[in-house]
A = this chain, B = another copy of it.
Amino acid sequence: MTPVNLVLMGMGNVGRAFIHLVGEKSGLCRERYGLNLCLKAVLKTNGGFFAGRPLDPGDIAGLPASELAKHPAWKPGLHLDDVLKSVNPGVLVECTPTNLHTGQPGLSHITRALKKKWHVAAASKGALVVNFKGLNAFARKQGVSLKYSGAAAAALPTLDVGLFSLAGTEILRIEGILTGVTNYILTRMEESFSFQEALKEAQAKGIAEPDPSLDVDGWDSAAKILLIANSVAGMSFSLKDIRREGIRNVTPEDIQKAGKEGKSLKLLARFDRRKDEPKAEVCLTAIENTHPLFSVSGTNKGIVFFTDTMGQVTVTGGKSDPRGTAAALLKDIINIYRQEWSPCL
């Protein structure tokens, strides 16, 4: 049995779902993968949970914000360095809010963890978008894994498929619907909602954030195609290299026009290496009903890889919710530690 020490940064929806999932899946991880998940610490900006022995996930996941500080393991002002210096390396699980311009606070967390030879599984995108090559090179130098499925469409497998399932191919082109929120809004607009109505509904359902700009202005899709193209096709895109369009200005007329032509308006993230100059972009595109992403609707996501030897491989689905993202983090953690891919016998 391999002990896997976990330190979680951030206790928003994804962080809480991850704590819950660790409790739910600890038996399965022991039995199927020989991994003993030990949640050693959970940190927020103003303090964190940390005790000598592993935390009980069930004990913490459901605590309302007002009760956190009353928990016996709560340490006000607890800092990540306090934890890293007294716990054997395991995996830092980065779930703080994404800032695509500074990369913080994830960038600082990930850098500190790599310095101490911790593996990293990230759901936040900022750090990797801001310093993709630097962080990957540093992780390699330190001999640890830096994984970020949780940041690259989460429960929809994108990086795994590109790096593992399509190993040995040349990935010539990628097209993806990578943001559940924008796809949900566009689907509702096809059902005759206005942009504002659809956005409000998405916010009321907790699908869209109170400040929806990261999603509706195409930043989220741009960040994801950056992570995917840089990872699976060896590109060096920065966010500024990616032409980006959002969905704020989509009118009911745009939707109807596409519909009349038998098409569906989607916010596509695209990468193309076939031209002289490889290009990544996010743009509104009316796609035909023969396009493999045509029927990806609502909060669903999808990605198409166009390869030289395996043809076209499309992946769709994967839950767009905190539990799905938590499951993507757990998948990365399991794959960091497992030595082989043999069947469950």
By a beta-carbon cutoff of 8 Å, the part of chain A in contact with chain B is 21, 25, 28-29, 33, 133, 136-137, 139-140, 145-147, 155-157, 160-161, 163-170, 230-234, 290, 292, 294-295, 304, 307, 309-319, 323-324, 326-328, 330-331, 333-335, 338, 340-345
Contact = CB atoms under 8 A, between A and B. Distances in A.
Contact of A167 (B290, B334, B343): B334
A263 to B, nearest CB: 15
Contacts of A326: 309
What secondary structure prevails in chain A residues at the interface with B?
mixed
8 contacts: A161-B165, A161-B315, A164-B341, A165-B165, A233-B344, A294-B295, A311-B317, A314-B316
Given A309-B324, A341-B335, A345-B137, A25 B318 contact: no
A39 to B, nearest CB: 15
B316 A292 contact: yes
Contacts of A29: 168
Given A168-B28, A335-B164, A313 B157 contact: yes
A311 B318 contact: yes
Q: How many copies does the complex hold?
A: 2
Contact of A166 (B231, B290, B331, B333): B331
Contact of A314 (B317, B323, B330, B344): B317
B156 A313 contact: yes
B310 A234 contact: no
A190 to B, nearest CB: 15
A163 B137 CA distance: 27
Contacts of A290: 295
Nearest to A24: B309
Contacts of A170: 28
B335 A310 contact: no
Given A28-B168, A160-B165, A342 B136 contact: yes
B310 A324 contact: yes
A21 B316 contact: no
